[in-house]
Amino acid sequence: MSRFFSSAYRDMQAYVPGEQPRDRRYVKLNTNESPFPPSPAVIAAYDSEKGNVNLYSDPTAKALVEAAAEVYGRESRRLGGGDITPDMVIAGNGSDEILAFCVTAFFRDGGAAFPKVGYGFYPVFCNLFGVPFDEVPMKGEFEVDIAALAASPCNIMIANPNAQTGVYVPLSDIETLLSANKDRLVLVDEAYCDFGGESAVSLLARYDNLIVVTTLSKSRQLAGGRVGLAFARPEITEDLNKIKYSFNPYNLDRAAIAAGAAALLDTEYFDRTRKAVAQERERLKDSLGGLGFVVSPSLANFVLARRDGLSGEELYLALKERGVLVRYLGGDLSDYIRITVGSRAECDALVAAIKKIVKEKNI
């Protein structure tokens, strides 16, 4: 640490991203990436911008925002909600940037409340931007305490499905949070919603205190493309754009805008790949359950799992030695590992390695 570093941040704990090792080739199941490549339409969109990188990108990300309004508008109407118009959408450099914009714009005055087990960036952002926060304890191992969250006077952030357990809460629970106090904001982080949940965008027609944030990293194969979206009433997206234009107007490059729009509009590829991941997730749950694991009832593209006789860290290290990389989260989840749902071959390699570890330890 240099002597110039601000005293406000010297004791701050930074977010720890998942490992991206280069020392060997791993079966990589630690960062919730898609096992599928981008769709051909996405690759073509990237290629179309190769000759234009001498020019700045569109700060409004018009093509991406319009595609998002079209696709999520259909989803909203399917669930009984209203249209999503382009002025209800903002695009960001991954959903993390949008979360940072939201905390900056809306959470400083009212504070934040979120489940204690959830996305690790929530407390980091609050500490970074000087926002007081309340981590609401879980009910049991996996259940979010909706009643306790609803009773909090603070603005709410909730990942749905949960970013560590994969557990999804129904839209009726989101409505409970929205209606309990209409003078606070409820941010629903839907990074994993496409693998089995229903989006809260349909609730925007009835609630003006809702922000829905999502990413194209998981279900649309753009983890390396860094494309995030938020949906809210126009007055809220106007506030978020004010923050964006005060920080980084050209926050998405030309290729990311084009690729993001293409990924959204290629609904056939999206449906086929997300269903394949969901099917493999259920197969993985069954395999782990057969080996004596407790597995979270995840609707995300990962599962949380533990096994009596093995700590989470011990199992993580044993798998890493065998060339399989999973996520060890520690803290309240020190008994668990989090496993990305990979391809069938990758999941089979994981299960084979676990069988060997269990046999060697005679448990």
Q: Give me the CATH number covering residue 75.
A: 3.40.640.10
3-state SS, residue 325: strand
The per-residue pLDDT for 134 is 96
pLDDT tens for 58-79 read 999 999 999 999 999 999 999 9
Q: Give me the CATH number covering residue 31.
A: 3.90.1150.10
* Assigned token pair, 44: 């073509």
Check residue 94 and give left, alpha or beta (phi > 0: left; psi -120 to 50: alpha): left
3-state SS, residue 198: coil
Tell me, yes or no, whether 31 and 105 share the same domain.
Answer: no
Among the candidates 231, 246, 265, a domain finishes at 265
Using alpha carbons, select from 311, 315, 306, 303 the residue that is nearest to residue 342: 303
CB atoms within 10 A of CB 167: 22
Place of tokens 């649309």: 220
Look over the chain and give the mean of its residue pLDDT values, rounded to a whole number: 95
Tell me, yes or no, whether 308 and 197 share the same domain.
Answer: no
Q: How confident is the model at residue 141 (pLDDT cuts 50, 70, 90)?
A: confident
Of the listed ranges 21-25, 30-34, 124-128, 286-290, the one predicted with least confidence? 21-25
Q: Indicate whether 1 belongs to any domain.
A: no
Q: How confident is the model at residue 146 (pLDDT cuts 50, 70, 90)?
A: very high
Tell me, yes or no, whether 118 and 176 share the same domain.
Answer: yes
3-state SS, residue 318: helix
Q: How confident is the model at residue 259 (pLDDT cuts 50, 70, 90)?
A: very high
Strand ranges for 147-220 from DSSP E: 155-159, 186-189, 210-215
Count of domains forming the chain: 2
The per-residue pLDDT for 37 is 97
How far apart CA 295 and CA 283 sit, in angstroms, is 12
Tell me, yes or no, whether 58 and 108 share the same domain.
Answer: yes
Using alpha carbons, select from 15, 20, 16, 23 the residue that is nearest to residue 33: 20
Among the candidates 211, 246, 265, a domain finishes at 265
Tell me, yes or no, whether 124 and 183 share the same domain.
Answer: yes
- Please say whether the beta carbons of 219 and 195 come within 8 A: yes
Give the containing element (helix H, strand E) for 35.
Answer: none
How far apart CA 203 and CA 178 sit, in angstroms, is 9
* CA angle, 237 then 238 then 244, to 5°: 85
Using alpha carbons, select from 35, 118, 30 the residue that is nearest to residue 337: 30
Tell me, yes or no, whether 144 and 180 share the same domain.
Answer: yes
Give the containing element (helix H, strand E) for 230.
Answer: strand 228-232
Q: How confident is the model at residue 360 (pLDDT cuts 50, 70, 90)?
A: confident
Q: Indicate whether 325 belongs to any domain.
A: yes
Q: Indicate whether 3 belongs to any domain.
A: no
* Per-residue CA distances from 36 to 55, 263, 269, 321 (Å): 31, 13, 10, 25
Backbone angles phi, psi at 61, to 5 degrees: 50, 45
pLDDT tens for 100-140 read 999 999 999 999 999 999 999 999 999 999 999 999 999 98
Tell me, yes or no, whether 101 and 31 share the same domain.
Answer: no
- Please say whether the beta carbons of 68 and 87 come within 8 A: no
pLDDT tens for 279-334 read 999 999 999 999 999 999 999 999 999 999 899 999 999 999 999 999 999 988 99
| pLDDT above 90: residue 145 | yes
pTM, entire model: 0.95
Tell me, yes or no, whether 56 and 123 share the same domain.
Answer: yes
Tell me, yes or no, whether 284 and 142 share the same domain.
Answer: no
Residues contacting residue 354 through CB under 8 Å, at least 6 positions apart: 288, 291, 315, 319
Among the candidates 250, 265, 280, a domain finishes at 265
How far apart CA 14 and CA 75 sit, in angstroms, is 36
Residues contacting residue 53 through CB under 8 Å, at least 6 positions apart: 253, 254, 255
Q: How confident is the model at residue 226 (pLDDT cuts 50, 70, 90)?
A: very high
The per-residue pLDDT for 230 is 98
- Please say whether the beta carbons of 294 and 315 come within 8 A: no
Task: Tell me what percent of the residues of the chain surpass a pLDDT of 70.
Answer: 99
| pLDDT above 90: residue 24 | no
* CA angle, 81 then 82 then 84, to 5°: 120
| Containing structural domain, residue 321 | 8-37+270-358
The per-residue pLDDT for 213 is 98
Tell me, yes or no, whether 206 and 231 share the same domain.
Answer: yes
Pairing state between β 27-28 and 89-92: unpaired
pLDDT tens for 148-193 read 999 999 999 999 999 999 999 999 999 999 999 999 999 999 999 9
Tell me, yes or no, whether 143 and 130 share the same domain.
Answer: yes
- Mind giving me the DSSP string for 38-60? PPHHHHHHHHHTGGGTTS---TT
Q: Indicate whether 363 belongs to any domain.
A: no
* Assigned token pair, 354: 């676990």
Tell me, yes or no, whether 68 and 113 share the same domain.
Answer: yes
